[in-house]
A and B are shown apart, each in its own frame.
Chain A
Amino acid sequence: MSFLEVTNIGISFGGLRAVDDFCLHIEKGELYGLIGPNGAGKTTVFNLLTGVYKPDRGTIVLDGENLTGKSPIEINQHGMARTFQNIRLFHNLSVLDNVKVGLHNQIPYSALEGVLRLPRYRKAEREMDEKAEELLEVFDLQGEKDYLSSNLPYGKQRKLEIARALATNPKLLLLDEPAAGMNPNETEELMETIQLVRKRFDMTILLIEHDMKLVSGICEELTVLNFGSILAQGKTSQVLNNPDVITAYLGE
């Protein structure tokens, strides 16, 4: 059995079958790409995986645990973390606190211990600060840790979102169009960051992307989605040379 095993999931909105019979097998440590034309249902697949939508049918199993129908909160606690296509940071919190929210379930103490400033609060907060700063350093954000997250430039906001997702200690990281709105230089840098994250945290990554340079550069396997169903699946080089994929997505 694969690390992530998605079998025949689907969802309809009214009469529209947004995603139909979607299957996905990802091995541990793999970097997997999900591509497809606009409106193909890629983000819907992410929303199904992370529990934002409940699938009408099919099952989702991560590392032997059945996550089908669980809430986003439970799914995150079971080891799936994500970023969003349109950045969703906690914009009124500092950069450091954004990451510390990610550590919420990793280093717990009760609200009462926090109010009374008991020793456990101090110890946990110190531990959180260290861990958060360590993560920020990976993304080269340590210099901006006291900035309000909404004051960061766009590329750094994307990085911060990945840092926050990693803070929840996931087994599988889902990145929804991480290179959207980035210039070629930033995309290049992002590719390096993703590779670094993968190596350093021994992370399995599933990403949605439109930037073909990024996809062909770092993804090992691909699934192509079109009108809610799978068009092609397999090794990146094979999939990108598949004539169906070229006509549907890449163009002649």
Chain B
Amino acid sequence: MEKNKTKRVSGLARPAFRSKLITYVLAAGFFGVSALLVQAEVAGSLYEGLLIPMCCYIMMAVSLNLTVGILGELSLGHAGFMCVGAYVGAVFSIVTRTAIPSAWIRFPLALLLGGLTAALFGVVIGIPILRLRGDYLAIVTLAFGEIIRKLVENLYIAVDANGLHFSFAKAIDPLSMDLATKKDILNGPMAVSGIPRDTTLLLAVLFVMLTLFVVMNLIDSRSGRAIMAIRDNRIAAEATGISITKHKLIVFTVSAFFAGLAGVLYAHSSTLKSTQFDYNLSIQILVFVVLGGIGSTRGAMIATVILYALPELLRFLQDYRMLVYAIVLIVMMLLNNNARFHQLKQTLFQRKAKEETT
């Protein structure tokens, strides 16, 4: 009886379009309502300040879900790609701030450059780890994430009338520079200042939509099926003529690209410090993905909204904040493994779809 029931797979359900539409509407609806609440001053500035980072984290979670949930490979270095995007975008914007005064031209370029550089890192890191799986892949990606952060932490870039000055691991000798026009851009582990605040909430939400569009369409296509086939049974996928290398690289690249974009958006909305991108962030994003129900794009998004906002909104609890947060994590984990909860979810989201098939 139970066996004959059609179990639907996220992103793959027959009425795939409807399922995607729900996700878009949820995202647009949530941020639309939030913006209205902020505008009407119902929600405070604390809440307002959460919205842009929340968008960045949604992009991170949705792109990480592609690696962890769809390809089925554990990656613990996602923050590294965000770090690459953030710093490349920030340096570009600071350097070209006077040359390209219009944010309308400068910021898209910064985004593109940050995203593409992160994607390049995705490929460069992806190639040597193609053969690794499971725990080994997790450890290596963790290491790569930290290496990227440490590299950035040791980078010194300054600009003067003569052009750009680079230094690695030690500060640039001030005597070698024209002091009158000297301006520090990156100063090692110090926070980066002077990044134009180009990221608006509208823009961030649009990029969330773009991420959802690309990732969900990719999953629901020939390539997505191949990627999930590799996840479900690598040997059978090979015997069916699916190239493992090609599809793994597609995933690493797309996933890194959107993490890079998230980084650029993040860097242009607040102060930038390399310690923000340590492995804690990677783990945090992974928690969003896992508790959203591995493999579910919509789940990753919802989990991010709840779990990112929660610690901030619970600040009034002071010392008990993390305790409550931990309890929420456990409750979400239990719900994820609860058949009744899944049934409820189905009746909420897919009732119409079911009627069609029966």
- Which chain A residues border B228 with CB–CB below 8 Å? 90, 92-93
- Which chain A residues border B241 with CB–CB below 8 Å? 73, 76-77, 104-105, 168
- Which chain A residues border B5 with CB–CB below 8 Å? 151
Q: Given A73-B242, A91-B232, are A148 and B222 neighbors across the interface (CB < 8 Å)?
A: no
- Which chain B residues border A84 with CB–CB below 8 Å? 235-236, 239
Q: Given A93-B9, A101-B240, are A109 and B222 neighbors across the interface (CB < 8 Å)?
A: yes
- Which chain B residues border A71 with CB–CB below 8 Å? 238
A148 to B5: give the CA distance in the assembly, Å. 9
Are B222 and A124 in contact, with the CB atoms below 8 A? Answer: yes
Q: Given A73-B242, A147-B6, are A94 and B12 neighbors across the interface (CB < 8 Å)?
A: yes
Are B240 and A100 in contact, with the CB atoms below 8 A? Answer: no
Contact with B along A80-120 (1 / 0, CB 8 A): 01101000111111100100111011001101001111000
Are B250 and A90 in contact, with the CB atoms below 8 A? Answer: no
A117 to B221: give the CA distance in the assembly, Å. 9
A98 to B243: give the CA distance in the assembly, Å. 16
Number of A residues contacting the other chain (C-beta, 8 Å)?
41
Q: Does A72 contact B (CB under 8 A)?
A: yes
- Which chain A residues border B284 with CB–CB below 8 Å? none
A77 to B242: give the CA distance in the assembly, Å. 9
Are A148 and B226 in contact, with the CB atoms below 8 A? Answer: no
A148 to B8: give the CA distance in the assembly, Å. 7
Chain A residue nearest to B9 (CB atoms) is A92
Are A115 and B214 in contact, with the CB atoms below 8 A? Answer: yes
Taking a contact as CB atoms closer than 8 A, the residue among B222, B229, B239, B240 that contacts A108 in the complex is: B222
Are A101 and B7 in contact, with the CB atoms below 8 A? Answer: no
Are A89 and B233 in contact, with the CB atoms below 8 A? Answer: yes
- Which chain A residues border B240 with CB–CB below 8 Å? 76, 81, 101-102, 104, 164-165, 168
Q: Given A91-B232, A101-B226, are A73 and B238 neighbors across the interface (CB < 8 Å)?
A: yes
A97 to B224: give the CA distance in the assembly, Å. 11
Minimum CB–CB distance for A32 against chain B, Å: 19
Q: Given A92-B231, A93-B12, are A50 and B239 neighbors across the interface (CB < 8 Å)?
A: yes
- Which chain B residues border A81 with CB–CB below 8 Å? 239-240
Minimum CB–CB distance for B19 against chain A, Å: 13
Minimum CB–CB distance for B65 against chain A, Å: 14
Minimum CB–CB distance for B338 against chain A, Å: 19
- Which chain B residues border A164 with CB–CB below 8 Å? 240
- Which chain B residues border A97 with CB–CB below 8 Å? 12, 225
Minimum CB–CB distance for B295 against chain A, Å: 8
- Which chain B residues border A151 with CB–CB below 8 Å? 3-7
- Which chain B residues border A101 with CB–CB below 8 Å? 225-226, 229, 237, 240, 242
Query: Interface residues, chain B, CB within 8 Å of chain A?
Result: 3-9, 12, 14, 213-214, 217-218, 221-226, 228-229, 231-233, 235-244, 250, 295, 357
Q: Other CB < 8 Å A-B pairs besides A101-B225, A102-B240, A114-B222, 8 of them?
A: A50-B239, A73-B242, A101-B242, A104-B241, A128-B222, A147-B7, A148-B6, A151-B4
Which 7 A-B residue pairings sit nearest by Cβ, starting from the closest?
A114-B221, A76-B241, A88-B236, A90-B232, A72-B238, A111-B223, A101-B229
Query: Interface residues, chain A, CB within 8 Å of chain B?
Result: 50, 52, 71-73, 76-77, 81-82, 84, 88-94, 97, 100-102, 104-105, 108-109, 111, 114-117, 121, 124-125, 128, 146-148, 151, 164-165, 168
23 A-B pairs with C-beta separation under 8 A: A72-B235, A72-B239, A84-B235, A89-B232, A89-B233, A89-B236, A90-B229, A93-B12, A93-B228, A93-B229, A114-B218, A114-B222, A114-B224, A115-B213, A115-B214, A115-B217, A115-B221, A125-B222, A146-B8, A146-B357, A147-B6, A148-B6, A148-B9
